[in-house]
Amino acid sequence: MLITGSAGLVGSEAARYFAGKGYDIIGIDNDMRAVFFGPDASTKWNLTRLSRELGSRYEHHDVDIRNVEAIEDIFKAHARHLRAIIHTAAQPSHDWAARDVQTDFTVNANGTLNLLELTRKHCPQTPFIFTSTNKVYGDTPNSLPLVEQEKRWEIDESHAYYDGIDETMSIDQTKHSLFGASKVAADILTQEYGRYFDMPTVSFRGGCLTGPGHTGTQLHGFLSYLMKCAVAGQPYTVFGYKGKQVRDNIHSYDLVRMFEQFIESPRRGEAYNAGGGRHSNCSLLEAVEMCEELTGNRMRLIHTDENRVGDHIWYISSLRKFMSHYPRWRCTYTVPDILAEMYEANKDRWIN
């Protein structure tokens, strides 16, 4: 397996999972997360742990996905033996993107294009998996008829999207954020390579992707950063919507199992919404309560009326399309499960 962003949340989960299935892992990661968000967001700790756990099954390349020549050398060395390409490397924050649009776009769009083109050139029938985002829909979800409840925004049970937003939602005439725009470009490129060149490609449009391997920061990694603040006694800033904004959260393990289903039975140019759905979702206020219960600490919240640009008030993914194509898959983790595992895995590191 070739995995980009292999020291990040989803990349490291995929590396461990598929190494456990007997695959050797070719990992590509140059710790750009530390460049984006500072040294506290570095993934070096996760790379060290990954290398120690997987040993000879893991081969690491400290390479930027924008470096075509270096990436092509890796393809030339391994293309004949690749079972799948899992592309998780990205600039992941819509706040950060506005600070450096060129870097955001070249990493997310051009980097993806490099990988697609090298796949077409060297191993066109190898399944190509791209981790996209629900930000491809921009702020269109905010136009839904939402109802304010005590601790969350919600949608009426009679609404077509009550069980989750599906892939028929338009990505046009909406404010995506610049991050969303760069991911739209990569998402459409991935679909187009599948349809135009008859390659097995897929875009997974993730909601909140999370798990104990997440290096959460204020600008990215909602649950991880929230739990870190709860454990360390740091203040947490709530941006708009009274803290009642709702997200579905999918554990990286469940997402990687979606990847596995696609690899076993690939399709051409697909796109799937990927999140916790109705099985695993919460509002920010509900997540705060869960963190306080797990840690025994009262959280210090700073409320601001200004929401993040293009941010969603309510987003729950519909998983119907994916499950109709891959009926064996089920989401196994809930938000309380995720937070409990996150707490146990990281409390000592965060306290220190």
Q: Which residue blocks in 165-311 are alpha helix, DSSP H?
A: 178-196, 222-232, 252-264, 284-295
Q: How confident is the model at residue 350 (pLDDT cuts 50, 70, 90)?
A: confident
Nearest to 320 by CA among 329, 311, 332: 329
Interatomic CA distance for residues 239 and 278, integer angstroms: 24
Task: For residue 58, give both structure tokens.
Answer: 């893991």
- How far CA 36 is from CA of 108, 134, 211, 213, 327, in Å, comes to 13, 21, 20, 18, 38
Q: How confident is the model at residue 216 (pLDDT cuts 50, 70, 90)?
A: low
Interatomic CA distance for residues 332 and 348, integer angstroms: 26
pLDDT tens for each residue of 96-109: 999 999 999 999 99
- 116-130, 248-262, 264-278, 337-351: least confidently modelled range: 337-351
Q: What are phi and psi of 210, to 5 degrees?
A: -155, 175
Residue with tokens 């997402």, as numbered in its chain = 255
Q: What is the pTM of this model?
A: 0.94
